[in-house]
Structure 1
Amino acid sequence: MTDLEFMDRAEALLARVEQSCDRINDESDADIDNQRVGGMVTLSFRNGTQIVVNLQKPLQEVWMAARAGGFHYRFDGSQWSDTKGQGEFFAHLARYASEQAGQPLTFEG
């Protein structure tokens, strides 16, 4: 994938994260604050924890840091998959955000 293709796909991923947070806030009392600065989105939860999603352009990866740990994802042609073969980005984000928010949350990919 070219750098331009990576950036298009990665920017779309960040936009989907932001849109999902807006939807979650409209539909629940989760109150997730999401702040975007450049290629990074920080999700802040009521309990003071955060999830940070940022782009790693030189590696063509998206990284996520959550209370559960740090994870790297690459686009495999159809989805953003964990580089260690442990699953898909949005499924992981939903799991870790649900843990940190203390309630079930869904993110759309």
Structure 2
Amino acid sequence: MMDEARYNQLAVGVFKRILAAADAIDPDILEAESTGDMVTLTARSREKCIVNTQRAVRQIWVAGRGQGIHFTYDTATSTWKDDKGRGLELLAFVADVVHDISGVDFIYPG
């Protein structure tokens, strides 16, 4: 299992990318709120995508589309992948959920 300092660094990086993508969207369409270990993205319809850390197991969990997906960092690809082996990647999954609930593209800055 990765050490806590590395996990924290990676999790902060994910949150920064998510918030940067949300900042590019009109807040009347998608509102982003960051509170410690959680980012909540709320669409005009009040549907949500919630991203939060799970420090004890070194994962990031995403709730959206009526499901909860757990992501573990894959050092081989330097990406967060779902822990069930379904081929889901964290940032792509969040972008898909945001698109589903808001109708807008969720684009991460370079």
Measured against the shorter chain, the TM-score band is 0.7 to 0.9
- Give the 3 Å change call, closer, same or farther, for CA 18–39 of structure 1 in structure 2: same
Answer whether contact 2:52 2:62 (CA < 8 A) is retained.
Answer: yes
Report SS of the residue matched to 2:12. helix
User: Unpaired runs of 5+ in structure 2?
Assistant: none
Give the alignment's Cα RMSD to 1 decimal.
Answer: 1.8
Give me the whole-angstrom Cα distance separating, in 2, the residues matched to 1:94 and 1:102.
11
Give me the whole-angstrom Cα distance separating, in 1, the residues matched to 2:109 and 2:33.
18
Structure with a larger share of its residues in helix: 1
User: Unpaired runs of 5+ in structure 1?
Assistant: none
TM-score norm. by structure 1 comes to: 0.88
Aligned AA for 1:14?
F
Aligned partner (choices 21, 32, 35) of residue 30 of structure 2: 32
**Deviating 4+ runs (over 4 angstroms):** none
How many residues matched?
Answer: 106
Percent identical residues: 28
Give me the whole-angstrom Cα distance separating, in 2, the residues matched to 1:35 and 1:53.
11
Deviation at 1:108, TM superposition (A): 5.5
